[in-house]
Structure 1
Protein backbone atom coordinates (compact mmCIF):
# COMPACT_ATOMS: atom_id res chain seq x y z
CA UNK A 1 0.00 0.00 0.00
CA UNK A 2 1.17 3.51 -0.74
CA UNK A 3 -0.30 6.54 0.95
CA UNK A 4 -1.64 7.70 -2.42
CA UNK A 5 -3.78 4.53 -2.58
CA UNK A 6 -5.53 5.39 0.68
CA UNK A 7 -8.80 7.28 0.41
CA UNK A 8 -10.01 9.27 3.44
CA UNK A 9 -13.76 9.81 3.40
CA UNK A 10 -16.71 10.16 5.75
CA UNK A 11 -17.79 6.82 7.20
CA UNK A 12 -21.02 5.18 6.11
CA UNK A 13 -23.05 2.71 8.13
CA UNK A 14 -21.44 -0.20 6.28
CA UNK A 15 -18.04 0.88 7.73
CA UNK A 16 -19.14 0.77 11.37
CA UNK A 17 -18.34 -2.92 12.00
CA UNK A 18 -14.77 -2.48 10.72
CA UNK A 19 -14.39 0.70 12.79
CA UNK A 20 -15.62 -1.13 15.91
CA UNK A 21 -13.18 -3.96 15.21
CA UNK A 22 -10.30 -1.49 15.59
CA UNK A 23 -11.53 -0.08 18.93
CA UNK A 24 -9.07 -2.19 20.94
CA UNK A 25 -6.19 -0.22 19.44
CA UNK A 26 -7.31 2.78 21.52
CA UNK A 27 -6.00 1.05 24.64
CA UNK A 28 -2.37 1.72 23.65
CA UNK A 29 -0.54 4.07 25.94
CA UNK A 30 -2.94 3.78 28.86
CA UNK A 31 -1.14 3.46 32.17
CA UNK A 32 -0.56 -0.16 33.14
CA UNK A 33 -2.08 0.35 36.59
CA UNK A 34 -5.52 1.01 35.08
CA UNK A 35 -7.79 -2.06 34.81
CA UNK A 36 -7.44 -3.46 31.29
CA UNK A 37 -11.06 -4.58 31.07
CA UNK A 38 -12.30 -1.10 32.05
CA UNK A 39 -10.01 0.53 29.51
CA UNK A 40 -11.19 -1.83 26.75
CA UNK A 41 -14.84 -1.20 27.65
CA UNK A 42 -14.30 2.57 27.55
CA UNK A 43 -12.60 2.36 24.14
CA UNK A 44 -15.44 0.26 22.75
CA UNK A 45 -17.94 2.78 24.14
CA UNK A 46 -16.11 5.76 22.59
CA UNK A 47 -16.10 4.08 19.19
CA UNK A 48 -19.76 3.06 19.44
CA UNK A 49 -20.61 6.68 20.32
CA UNK A 50 -18.57 7.94 17.35
CA UNK A 51 -20.45 5.58 15.02
CA UNK A 52 -23.84 6.66 16.41
CA UNK A 53 -22.99 10.37 16.12
CA UNK A 54 -21.34 10.16 12.68
CA UNK A 55 -24.31 11.73 10.91
CA UNK A 56 -24.71 14.59 13.41
CA UNK A 57 -23.62 17.98 12.09
CA UNK A 58 -21.26 18.62 15.01
CA UNK A 59 -19.46 15.25 14.66
CA UNK A 60 -17.42 13.55 11.97
CA UNK A 61 -16.24 9.98 11.56
CA UNK A 62 -13.65 9.60 8.82
CA UNK A 63 -12.30 6.31 7.52
CA UNK A 64 -9.12 5.52 5.64
CA UNK A 65 -9.61 2.83 3.01
CA UNK A 66 -7.06 1.02 0.91
CA UNK A 67 -8.24 -0.63 -2.34
CA UNK A 68 -6.53 -3.91 -1.37
CA UNK A 69 -6.86 -3.97 2.43
CA UNK A 70 -10.22 -2.26 2.96
CA UNK A 71 -10.66 -0.05 6.01
CA UNK A 72 -7.25 0.58 7.59
CA UNK A 73 -8.03 3.38 10.04
CA UNK A 74 -10.49 5.94 11.32
CA UNK A 75 -10.76 9.25 13.14
CA UNK A 76 -13.69 10.60 15.11
CA UNK A 77 -14.06 14.26 16.07
CA UNK A 78 -16.68 16.64 17.37
CA UNK A 79 -17.20 20.35 17.88
CA UNK A 80 -17.14 21.41 21.51
CA UNK A 81 -16.67 24.42 23.72
CA UNK A 82 -13.35 24.53 25.57
CA UNK A 83 -13.57 25.65 29.21
CA UNK A 84 -12.09 28.98 28.07
CA UNK A 85 -15.21 29.53 25.96
CA UNK A 86 -13.52 28.95 22.60
CA UNK A 87 -15.27 26.64 20.15
CA UNK A 88 -12.88 23.94 18.92
CA UNK A 89 -12.77 20.51 17.37
CA UNK A 90 -11.96 17.61 19.66
CA UNK A 91 -10.21 14.65 18.03
CA UNK A 92 -11.55 11.86 20.22
CA UNK A 93 -10.37 8.77 18.35
CA UNK A 94 -7.57 8.11 15.88
CA UNK A 95 -6.69 4.53 14.98
CA UNK A 96 -4.64 2.95 12.21
CA UNK A 97 -4.48 -0.84 11.91
CA UNK A 98 -1.09 -2.11 13.15
CA UNK A 99 -0.06 -3.47 9.72
CA UNK A 100 -0.70 -0.08 8.11
CA UNK A 101 1.13 2.21 10.53
CA UNK A 102 4.02 4.49 9.61
CA UNK A 103 2.71 4.94 6.07
CA UNK A 104 1.08 8.34 6.42
CA UNK A 105 -2.46 7.09 7.10
CA UNK A 106 -2.75 8.82 10.49
CA UNK A 107 -1.44 12.09 9.03
CA UNK A 108 -4.08 11.92 6.29
CA UNK A 109 -6.83 11.25 8.84
CA UNK A 110 -5.70 14.17 11.03
CA UNK A 111 -5.62 16.41 7.94
CA UNK A 112 -9.19 15.30 7.20
CA UNK A 113 -10.31 16.22 10.72
CA UNK A 114 -8.57 19.59 10.42
CA UNK A 115 -10.31 20.26 7.10
CA UNK A 116 -13.67 19.33 8.65
CA UNK A 117 -12.98 21.70 11.57
CA UNK A 118 -12.01 24.56 9.25
CA UNK A 119 -15.17 24.00 7.20
CA UNK A 120 -17.16 24.67 10.38
CA UNK A 121 -15.25 27.83 11.28
CA UNK A 122 -13.25 26.16 14.05
CA UNK A 123 -9.67 27.33 14.47
CA UNK A 124 -8.24 24.72 16.83
CA UNK A 125 -8.13 20.93 17.15
CA UNK A 126 -7.52 19.47 20.60
CA UNK A 127 -6.89 15.84 21.55
CA UNK A 128 -5.76 13.62 24.41
CA UNK A 129 -3.40 10.67 24.26
CA UNK A 130 -1.70 8.42 26.78
CA UNK A 131 1.69 9.44 28.13
CA UNK A 132 3.11 6.04 27.22
CA UNK A 133 1.75 6.22 23.67
CA UNK A 134 5.08 7.40 22.31
CA UNK A 135 4.32 6.78 18.64
CA UNK A 136 1.13 8.86 18.80
CA UNK A 137 2.83 11.66 20.72
CA UNK A 138 5.64 11.78 18.15
CA UNK A 139 3.09 11.91 15.32
CA UNK A 140 1.17 14.77 16.91
CA UNK A 141 4.36 16.72 17.59
CA UNK A 142 5.47 16.27 13.94
CA UNK A 143 2.07 17.61 12.88
CA UNK A 144 2.52 20.72 15.04
CA UNK A 145 0.43 19.81 18.09
CA UNK A 146 1.67 21.14 21.44
CA UNK A 147 1.13 19.92 24.99
CA UNK A 148 -1.37 22.12 26.81
CA UNK A 149 -2.22 20.26 30.01
CA UNK A 150 -0.75 17.47 32.10
CA UNK A 151 -2.86 15.04 34.11
CA UNK A 152 -1.20 13.74 37.25
CA UNK A 153 -2.29 10.77 39.31
CA UNK A 154 -1.12 9.03 42.47
CA UNK A 155 -2.25 5.81 44.10
CA UNK A 156 -3.11 6.47 47.74
CA UNK A 157 -3.91 3.13 49.20
Structure 2
Protein backbone atom coordinates (compact mmCIF):
# COMPACT_ATOMS: atom_id res chain seq x y z
CA UNK A 1 0.00 0.00 0.00
CA UNK A 2 1.35 3.51 -0.75
CA UNK A 3 2.31 5.74 2.18
CA UNK A 4 -0.66 6.94 4.15
CA UNK A 5 -2.09 10.40 3.81
CA UNK A 6 -3.91 10.99 7.03
CA UNK A 7 -5.36 13.60 9.33
CA UNK A 8 -5.38 13.44 13.12
CA UNK A 9 -8.51 14.88 14.70
CA UNK A 10 -10.57 14.66 17.88
CA UNK A 11 -12.96 11.73 17.82
CA UNK A 12 -16.68 12.23 18.22
CA UNK A 13 -19.32 9.80 19.45
CA UNK A 14 -20.18 9.21 15.77
CA UNK A 15 -16.68 7.72 15.29
CA UNK A 16 -17.13 5.05 17.94
CA UNK A 17 -18.70 2.40 15.63
CA UNK A 18 -15.67 2.64 13.31
CA UNK A 19 -13.27 2.37 16.25
CA UNK A 20 -14.92 -0.66 17.87
CA UNK A 21 -13.43 -3.24 15.45
CA UNK A 22 -10.01 -1.79 16.33
CA UNK A 23 -10.88 -2.13 20.02
CA UNK A 24 -11.70 -5.80 19.43
CA UNK A 25 -8.39 -6.22 17.60
CA UNK A 26 -6.29 -4.55 20.30
CA UNK A 27 -8.00 -6.58 23.03
CA UNK A 28 -7.43 -9.83 21.11
CA UNK A 29 -3.81 -8.82 20.49
CA UNK A 30 -3.23 -8.20 24.20
CA UNK A 31 -4.92 -11.44 25.23
CA UNK A 32 -2.76 -13.36 22.74
CA UNK A 33 0.38 -11.79 24.22
CA UNK A 34 -0.50 -12.67 27.82
CA UNK A 35 -3.90 -14.27 28.46
CA UNK A 36 -3.56 -13.98 32.24
CA UNK A 37 -2.46 -10.34 32.35
CA UNK A 38 -4.93 -9.20 29.70
CA UNK A 39 -7.94 -11.40 30.48
CA UNK A 40 -10.80 -9.36 29.02
CA UNK A 41 -14.43 -9.51 30.02
CA UNK A 42 -16.68 -11.08 27.37
CA UNK A 43 -18.46 -7.77 26.75
CA UNK A 44 -15.29 -5.65 26.44
CA UNK A 45 -16.36 -4.07 23.13
CA UNK A 46 -19.74 -3.07 24.56
CA UNK A 47 -17.97 -1.53 27.55
CA UNK A 48 -15.76 0.50 25.20
CA UNK A 49 -18.88 1.49 23.26
CA UNK A 50 -20.11 3.18 26.44
CA UNK A 51 -16.71 4.43 27.64
CA UNK A 52 -15.32 6.02 24.46
CA UNK A 53 -18.09 8.66 24.06
CA UNK A 54 -17.40 9.67 27.66
CA UNK A 55 -13.72 10.19 26.76
CA UNK A 56 -14.73 12.24 23.71
CA UNK A 57 -16.87 14.51 25.90
CA UNK A 58 -14.42 14.83 28.81
CA UNK A 59 -12.16 17.91 28.54
CA UNK A 60 -9.54 16.09 30.65
CA UNK A 61 -9.36 13.12 28.30
CA UNK A 62 -8.15 12.73 24.77
CA UNK A 63 -9.71 10.51 22.13
CA UNK A 64 -8.18 11.05 18.71
CA UNK A 65 -8.57 9.27 15.40
CA UNK A 66 -6.45 9.11 12.28
CA UNK A 67 -8.49 9.53 9.10
CA UNK A 68 -6.95 8.23 5.90
CA UNK A 69 -7.36 10.49 2.90
CA UNK A 70 -7.31 9.33 -0.66
CA UNK A 71 -8.17 5.73 0.24
CA UNK A 72 -11.94 5.96 0.60
CA UNK A 73 -14.79 8.42 0.56
CA UNK A 74 -15.51 9.44 3.23
CA UNK A 75 -12.05 8.97 4.77
CA UNK A 76 -11.69 5.78 6.79
CA UNK A 77 -10.54 5.78 10.39
CA UNK A 78 -7.25 3.88 10.39
CA UNK A 79 -6.11 4.40 13.97
CA UNK A 80 -6.99 5.83 17.34
CA UNK A 81 -5.53 6.82 20.69
CA UNK A 82 -7.37 7.33 23.96
CA UNK A 83 -6.16 8.62 27.30
CA UNK A 84 -7.24 10.44 30.42
CA UNK A 85 -5.91 12.37 33.37
CA UNK A 86 -5.44 10.15 36.44
CA UNK A 87 -4.70 10.92 40.10
CA UNK A 88 -1.55 9.75 41.80
CA UNK A 89 -1.75 8.37 45.32
CA UNK A 90 -1.02 11.19 47.78
CA UNK A 91 2.66 10.50 48.38
CA UNK A 92 4.09 11.95 45.17
CA UNK A 93 4.90 15.55 44.23
CA UNK A 94 3.02 14.99 40.98
CA UNK A 95 -0.69 15.02 41.88
CA UNK A 96 -1.89 13.73 38.53
CA UNK A 97 -0.61 12.40 35.25
CA UNK A 98 -1.93 11.67 31.79
CA UNK A 99 -2.40 7.99 31.02
CA UNK A 100 -2.63 6.58 27.50
CA UNK A 101 -4.98 3.62 27.64
CA UNK A 102 -4.88 2.48 24.01
CA UNK A 103 -3.12 3.19 20.74
CA UNK A 104 -3.96 1.23 17.59
CA UNK A 105 -3.16 1.60 13.90
CA UNK A 106 -4.68 -0.73 11.33
CA UNK A 107 -2.07 -3.15 9.93
CA UNK A 108 -2.16 -1.75 6.36
CA UNK A 109 -1.29 1.71 7.71
CA UNK A 110 1.53 0.79 10.08
CA UNK A 111 5.10 2.07 9.67
CA UNK A 112 3.81 5.16 7.85
CA UNK A 113 3.93 7.65 10.72
CA UNK A 114 0.34 7.27 11.90
CA UNK A 115 1.20 6.07 15.43
CA UNK A 116 3.84 8.77 15.81
CA UNK A 117 1.37 11.44 14.69
CA UNK A 118 -1.29 10.15 17.10
CA UNK A 119 1.22 10.12 19.97
CA UNK A 120 2.54 13.59 19.18
CA UNK A 121 -0.96 15.05 18.99
CA UNK A 122 -1.90 13.35 22.27
CA UNK A 123 1.23 14.82 23.89
CA UNK A 124 0.35 18.31 22.63
CA UNK A 125 -3.25 18.06 23.84
CA UNK A 126 -2.27 16.75 27.27
CA UNK A 127 0.31 19.52 27.57
CA UNK A 128 -2.42 22.05 26.71
CA UNK A 129 -4.60 20.83 29.60
CA UNK A 130 -1.71 21.03 32.04
CA UNK A 131 -0.34 17.50 32.22
CA UNK A 132 3.30 17.32 33.33
CA UNK A 133 3.79 13.62 32.66
CA UNK A 134 2.29 10.99 30.36
CA UNK A 135 2.41 7.29 31.17
CA UNK A 136 1.55 4.23 29.15
CA UNK A 137 2.11 0.51 29.25
CA UNK A 138 3.16 -1.73 26.42
CA UNK A 139 3.77 -5.46 26.40
CA UNK A 140 7.36 -6.66 26.61
CA UNK A 141 6.77 -8.56 23.38
CA UNK A 142 5.65 -5.40 21.54
CA UNK A 143 9.09 -4.13 20.58
CA UNK A 144 7.80 -1.98 17.70
CA UNK A 145 5.44 -0.09 20.01
CA UNK A 146 8.28 0.56 22.44
CA UNK A 147 10.46 1.95 19.65
CA UNK A 148 7.67 4.24 18.40
CA UNK A 149 7.06 5.53 21.91
CA UNK A 150 10.78 6.09 22.48
CA UNK A 151 11.00 8.17 19.29
CA UNK A 152 8.28 10.37 20.82
CA UNK A 153 10.31 10.88 24.00
CA UNK A 154 8.97 8.13 26.24
CA UNK A 155 11.38 6.10 28.36
CA UNK A 156 11.07 2.82 30.22
CA UNK A 157 10.42 3.49 33.90
CA UNK A 158 9.10 0.28 35.47
CA UNK A 159 8.63 -3.39 34.78
CA UNK A 160 5.24 -4.91 35.57
CA UNK A 161 5.71 -8.18 37.49
CA UNK A 162 2.80 -10.60 37.72
CA UNK A 163 2.19 -13.81 39.61
CA UNK A 164 -1.06 -15.74 39.50
CA UNK A 165 -2.17 -17.14 42.86
TM bucket normalised to smaller? 0.7 to 0.9
Q: CA deviation at 1:113?
A: 0.6
Which residue matches 2:119? 110
Q: Is residue 78 of structure 1 aligned with residue 87 of structure 2?
A: no
Which residue matches 1:135? 144
* Paired residue secondary structure (1:64): strand
Q: CA deviation at 1:13?
A: 1.9
* Paired residue secondary structure (1:39): coil
Alignment map for 1:81-92 (pairs within 5 Å): 81-83=87-89, 84-86=92-94, 87-92=96-101
Larger CA deviation: 41-50 vs 113-122: 41-50
Which residue matches 1:120? 129
Number of matched pairs? 154
Q: 1:33 to 1:55 in 2, by over 3 A?
A: closer
**Structure 2-normalised TM-score?**
0.80
Per-residue CA distance 1:85-138 (angstroms, 9 max, x = gap): 522211111010111111000000001110111111112111111111222112
Q: CA deviation at 1:41?
A: 4.3
Contact 2:7 2:67 (C-alpha < 8 Å) held by counterparts: yes
Contact 1:61 1:76 (C-alpha < 8 Å) held by counterparts: yes
Q: Is residue 52 of structure 1 aligned with residue 54 of structure 2?
A: yes
Unaligned runs of 5+ in 2: none
Contact 2:55 2:82 (C-alpha < 8 Å) held by counterparts: no
Which residue matches 1:6? 6
RMSD across aligned positions (CA): 2.3
Per-residue CA distance 1:37-83 (angstroms, 9 max, x = gap): x3374863456423332111111210000122410000001112233
C-alpha separation between the residues in 1 aligned to 2:107 and 2:49?
A: 17
Unaligned runs of 5+ in 1: none
**Structure 1-normalised TM-score?**
0.84
Larger CA deviation: 41-50 vs 62-71: 41-50
Contact 1:62 1:75 (C-alpha < 8 Å) held by counterparts: yes
C-alpha separation between the residues in 1 aligned to 2:154 and 2:49?
A: 23
